[in-house]
Amino acid sequence: MTSQTPRIAGLLAAVGLVLSGCSAEPTSVEAGGAGNAPAATVSTPTRTGTPDLEVDVVASGLADVWDMGFLPDGRMLISERSGRLSLLSGTGPGAAVTPVRAELGDVYARGEGGLMGLALHPDFAQSRKFVTCSTHAEAGTPTDIRLVTWTLSADGTSATRVKDPLLGGLPINPSGRHSGCRPTFAADGALLVGAGDTARGTLPQDLTSLGGKVLRLDAATGGPAPGNPYADAANPAQRLVHDYGHRNVQGVAVQPGTGKAYSAEHGPSTDDEVNLLRPGANYGWDPGQGGTVGGYDESVPMTDLTRFPDATKAAWSSGSPVEAVSGAAFLSGPQWGALDGVLAVGALRGQKLMLMTLGADGAVASVSVPQPLDGTFGRLRAVRLAPDGTLFVSTSNGTDDKILRVSPA
Verify cis geometry, omega within 30 degrees of 0, for the bond prior to 26.
no
State the average pLDDT over residues 389-407: 97
State the average pLDDT over residues 258-285: 97
Q: In this predicted structure, what is the pLDDT of residue 370?
A: 92
For residue 325, the Cα-to-chain-centroid distance in whole angstroms is 9
Evaluate whether 27 touches 278 at the Cβ level (below 8 Å).
yes
Q: Is the pLDDT of residue 279 over 90?
A: yes
- For 204, list phi and psi in degrees, rounded to 5: -60, -35
State the average pLDDT over residues 193-216: 97
Q: Is the pLDDT of residue 4 over 60?
A: no
Evaluate whether 322 touches 266 at the Cβ level (below 8 Å).
yes
Q: In this predicted structure, what is the pLDDT of residue 40?
A: 34
CA distance 91 to 385: 12
CA distance 111 to 359: 36
Q: Is the pLDDT of residue 2 over 50?
A: no
Within 13 Å of residue 27, how many CA atoms lie on the same side as its CB?
A: 16
What 3-state DSSP class applies to 372?
helix
pLDDT interval class at 291 (50, 70, 90): confident
Radius of gyration of the chain, Cα coordinates, nearest whole angstrom: 20
CA distance 9 to 373: 12
pLDDT interval class at 409 (50, 70, 90): confident
**To the nearest whole number, what is the mean pLDDT of the chain?**
89
Q: Is the pLDDT of residue 44 over 70?
A: no
What proportion of the chain, given as a percentage, has pLDDT over 70?
Answer: 88
Q: In this predicted structure, what is the pLDDT of residue 51?
A: 64
What 3-state DSSP class applies to 133?
strand
pLDDT in tens, 301-342: 999 999 999 999 999 999 999 999 999 999 999 999 999 999
What is the number of other CB atoms lying within 10 angstroms of the CB of residue 337?
15
Q: In this predicted structure, what is the pLDDT of residue 50?
A: 53
- Reference 263, options 405, 383, 94, 105; nearest CA is 383
State the average pLDDT over residues 10-39: 31
CA distance 227 to 32: 6
What 3-state DSSP class applies to 335?
helix
**Total number of residues shown for the chain:** 409
CA distance 44 to 23: 14
For residue 230, the Cα-to-chain-centroid distance in whole angstroms is 23
